Every structure is written in structure tokens, then in C-alpha cells.
């Protein structure tokens, strides 16, 4: 059997980009979390509606942790209104 020349289909290069989170304000998956470890803070930004929130970074916090905290705080605030 002849060797089949396999056409190498390159997998789509996954750029290491930050995952997008859902924005509680505009409901788009357009939130990015910027972690500033030195300053012990994280910035949550939505580039759809322009929301910007600053969160305190706790040690060991991942972007998901920060986002979850932000989300909970937002919902609580919204409900308390």
C-alpha cells in the first residue's frame, strides 16, 4: 500500500487570549479580567458596554475567582437597589 500523503491540517492556533466572561450589565461575553499582581488588584472590563470595575486581588485568585466575586457583588448590588 502506498503511503498516503496526509495533508496536515493545521489545527487552529489557539492564541493564549484571555477568556471572555459574561457581562452582567449588557449580557455579552465581552468581559476581560486584568490581573495586576503587584498592585494586588484586578480590573474587570467590558469592552461592549464599557463597564470597568476594580477588585482587590487575594492571593491565589485566578481570573475566574475575581470574575465570580465581581459578578456576585454586582448582582447583590443590583438586587439591593
Residues lying near Zn ion in the complex (CB under 5 A) are found at 23, 25-26, 46, 48-49, 51
CB of 26 to Zn ion, least distance (A): 3
CB nearer to Zn ion: pick between 39 and 47: 47
- The torsion of the CA quartet 15, 67, 52, 58, rounded to 10 degrees, works out to -110
Using the structure block, give the residue that is written with the C-alpha cell 493545521. 10
- What's the rounded Cα separation, in Å, for the pair 24 and 47? 13
CB of 72 to Zn ion, least distance (A): 16
CB of 29 to Zn ion, least distance (A): 9
CB nearer to Zn ion: pick between 47 and 76: 47
Q: Is 31 exposed, middle or buried (0-12, 13-18, 19+ CB in 10 A)?
A: buried
CB nearer to Zn ion: pick between 37 and 73: 73
Amino acid at each position: 500500500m502506498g503511503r498516503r500523503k496526509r495533508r496536515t491540517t493545521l489545527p487552529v492556533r489557539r492564541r493564549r487570549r484571555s477568556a471572555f466572561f459574561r457581562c452582567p450589565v449588557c449580557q455579552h461575553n465581552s468581559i476581560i479580567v486584568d490581573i495586576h499582581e503587584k498592585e494586588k488588584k484586578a480590573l474587570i472590563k467590558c469592552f461592549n458596554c464599557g463597564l470597568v470595575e476594580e477588585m482587590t486581588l487575594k492571593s491565589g485568585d485566578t481570573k475566574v475567582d475575581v470574575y465570580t466575586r465581581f459578578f456576585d457583588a454586582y448582582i447583590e448590588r443590583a438586587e439591593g437597589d
